Structures are given as structure tokens and as C-alpha cells.
Amino acid sequence: MKRKFPSKLSTTQTVMFSFFLAILVGSILLALPVSSATNEAIPYIDALFTATTSVCVTGLVTLPTVSTWSTFGQIIILILIQIGGLGIITIMFGLLIGLHRKIGIGDRILIQDAFNLNTLSGLVKFVKKVLIGTLIVEGMGALLYMTVFVPEFGSKGIWISIFNSVSAFCNAGIDILSEDSLCAYALNPIINITTCSLIILGGLGYIVWWDLLQVLKKIKHQKWKCFNSLTLHSKIALSATGILILSGTFLFFIFEYNNPLTIADYSFFDKLQASFFQSVTTRTAGFATVPQQNLTNASAFVSLLLMFIGGSPVGTAGGVKTVTIVVLLTSALATIKNNDNVVLFHRTISKQAISKAVAVTSVSFMVMFTSTILLSAVTDANALDIVYETMSATATVGLTRNLTSSLNLWGKIIIIITMYLGRVGPISLLLAFNTKRKNRNIIKNPTEEISIG
């Protein structure tokens, strides 16, 4: 009797393979002489690194994007960023919908799993909304950027604006302005507000978008009460995002207030502006208006925490996600209070959700910790710089304390693998947990108490 093997990839395998394929194709294209600004082929390891950081929407670069790549190379990078932000599955099914191809039940299940949704109904409409909403937001961001970049760079400012808008919304942090990211625009309100708005919108997640819009449509009067009508997911994501941004801004403002290497010479408003930007960008965006190596140690550790948390689920941001951390903290508090149930906003959190939060956080921490040890073994850089680099790669942030450009071959390989695992690891873990047990009538092992803590 012949053994039957599954003919189709699982959703988890599809997601992981699609990211790997995009990186491979992108690296080959970037290794071509036409992708280089000098028409000389870039070393493949740097092409692979750039393709990985683009698809994983991280932002760490071994070579300056603005001076290394030709227009063709920059277009390839932008396409890879958009693919990484939206996901290949979203783009693939968006094309099928545009070609009026039929979306079968198997395809719908794949979309459902990719976005971690709870229902199969309205998935085609959901994908359309994601694609249209993304184009609208990125388009508005590009127009706002043009008010600054077109007067400064002429017609080239249009391309710079489009590139920056897509990169900011996808939380990639790659720009084609200078080798110092957005440091030259640290005091420009339009650049700060536009970039932060794109980062926040991309990081909130599509589920929050549509939930908020639907509630606002239903509530014609007293729209300030709409928060109570939101789903639990949206309430957690919005609350956590607001708290993290405000607390991060306050801490950076306090810790950097008298730092002559960052904001000491700024006016009060500009200090707030720079602190706000740092608080937003650390949650997986990767743009910088102050050199990260000049931050105080206190600010650096706050940045590490914000990087690890990241944005919200089903968005373009990385990290373990806001909802994950809130569930973990609430679960810990319930345990301390000796409560059997974990309750948030008068709703009970399921045991499965708590298990997922523990698993995602544990895996992400293990990836970061292992990467830190390995990178420490192949480089003699400062310990804080190494942790900053590996945390940035794991959470797909893109901020660096000037270490990325000096990485040796092994260092580049370690960060490439870390960025890939950081992008697909938690996603794959969530998708794996979504699979139901085939046989629930199994014999359970006996339970035995152990000591914890």
C-alpha cells in the first residue's frame, strides 16, 4: 500500500516559502549590475541582505540606499517593501480578484489564516479593502511629503515622496534621502507628522481600521462614545498604542532633555517633537531623526523595550505585538490576584489566546537571545550596540547604533537569518496554533503539581 503525502502546502509553509521566494528573487535582481548606481555588481551577500531587510520590512542596511542603488535597484527595493508589508498572499489574491478569477474555499481558508481572522465570510471584500486602503493612505502620505521634497529636490522629489510614503506605511524605515535617515528633517513638522501618521496607521492593523470605520458609520451622534462599541481586539490595540506612544515620548523627553548629542539645544516644542518621533519609530519603523548611538543608556533601553513590543496584529509592523503584551501582563496580574479568569474591558480572554501570547513572546525572545550570543561571538562591538542590532532585526525595526555597516560576513548572515525569523516566526507560530486537533478523544496524561517561581 502506497503512503499518501499531502499535495498542498499548509498555510504556515505557504507564508514562509513566499517570503523566502521573494527574498531570493529580489536578491538576484539586486545583484545585477543594472541595480547598482555604478553599474558594477554589488556583492551578493549585500544584495541578499538588502532583499531580506526589504521583504522583512526591517530597514537595517549594510550599504547606503541613496548612493548604492540605481533607480532600477530602488524600484526593486520599493516593490519588495510593498510585498513585505502587505504580504505575498494579499497581493496574489488581489491580482486574482482584479482578473475576476474565482476564489475557492481553499483560497479563502488561506486568506483567513494569513490574516488570522475568525470567519470565512467577506474575505474577498476584506482583501479589496486592504489593498485600496493601503493605496489611499500611501498616496496621501506621498502628497504630503511632496510639499517638502518637491521644492527641495524638484521632480526627483516625487519619487522620493512615493518611496518614503510606502516605506513608512510598511514600517520598513528605508529611505533614499541620505545616509543619516531623516536626521536632517528632525525639526520639520510636516515630515514628522506625516511619517509618524503613516507608521501608526500601518502599525495599528487592518482589523482595527475597519472596525473603527464601521463603528463611526453606525454612531451618528456622540462619536466620542464609539470606543465602547469597538471589538475587544481594537480596544486593546488602540489603548496599548496610545499608552506606549505617550509614555515613550515622556521618557525620551526626560532622558534626552539635557543630552548635548541629541536634543539639548532644541526648543521645548522641538524636544517634544523629536521625543514623539523616537517613541513612534522605535515600534518597528526604523526611521531616525536623532543618531541612535548618541542616545543615553536609559533611552536606549526604553527603545529596546518598545522595539520588542512593536505594533499591533494584522498590520505592517513587527515585534511581538501590543495585544500579545497586554494579554501577558493582564494574565500575570490575574495570577497575582489569584483570579481564575483573565478579564479585559469586561471580556474574558480565552486560555488559547494566553497560550499564543506566551508562545509568541518566548519564541521571539529566544530568537533575539540566540542571535545576540552568535553576533557577540563574531564581532567585538559594544554589548549594547549588539543587543540593539539583534533586537532591531528580531522585531524588524531597522534602527542601529552604527553597527550594521561594519558587520563582517558572518555578522551579515546572522542578521539576515534573524530578520527572516523575526518576520515569519511569530506569524508561523500563530498559524500553527490555528490548526485544530484531528482527534480530540485522546488519552490525557496524568496531571502533577510542580513549583513555579
**Residue 447 falls inside a structural domain:** no
**Residue 272 falls inside a structural domain:** yes
**Residue 453 falls inside a structural domain:** no
Instruction: Burial-class residue 319 by CB neighbours within 10 Å (0-12, 13-18, 19+).
Output: buried
Q: What pLDDT shows up at residue 250?
A: 97
Q: What pLDDT shows up at residue 292?
A: 94
**Residue 6 falls inside a structural domain:** no
Say how far residue 37 (Cα) sits from the centre of its chain. Answer: 28
**Are 137 and 169 within 8 A, CB to CB?**
yes
Give the DSSP letter of residue 224: G
**If DSSP codes are grouped into helix, strand and coil, which group holds residue 101?**
coil
**If DSSP codes are grouped into helix, strand and coil, which group holds residue 343?**
strand
**Residue 233 falls inside a structural domain:** yes
Domain count for the chain, please give it. Answer: 1
Q: Which helix (H) or strand (E) holds 102?
A: none
Ordered per-residue pLDDT tens for the chain, 453 residues? 444 434 465 666 677 788 889 999 999 999 999 999 999 999 999 999 999 999 998 999 999 999 999 999 999 999 999 988 877 667 666 665 665 666 666 656 666 655 656 665 666 777 788 888 889 999 999 999 999 999 999 999 999 999 999 999 999 989 999 888 999 999 999 999 999 999 999 988 888 888 888 888 777 666 567 878 888 989 999 999 999 999 999 999 999 999 999 999 999 999 999 999 999 999 888 899 999 999 999 999 999 999 999 988 877 888 899 999 999 999 999 999 988 888 898 899 988 889 888 988 998 999 999 999 999 999 999 999 999 999 999 999 989 999 999 999 999 999 999 999 888 875 565 555 555 555 555 566 777 777 666
pTM: 0.88
**Residue 336 falls inside a structural domain:** yes
Which domain covers residue 15, as residue numbers? 11-433
**Burial 336-367, CB ≥16 within 10 A → b, else e:** eeeeeebebeeeebeeebbebbebbbebbeeb
Return d(Cα 108, Cα 110) in angstroms, integer.
Answer: 5
CA nearest 284: which of 248, 255, 232, 256?
248
Q: What pLDDT shows up at residue 224?
A: 62
**Residue 446 falls inside a structural domain:** no
Q: What pLDDT shows up at residue 366?
A: 92
Q: What pLDDT shows up at residue 443?
A: 64
Q: What pLDDT shows up at residue 1?
A: 42
Q: Which helix (H) or strand (E) holds 347?
A: strand 347-349
**Are 112 and 119 within 8 A, CB to CB?**
yes
**Residue 122 falls inside a structural domain:** yes
Map grid coordinates 476564489 to a residue: 103
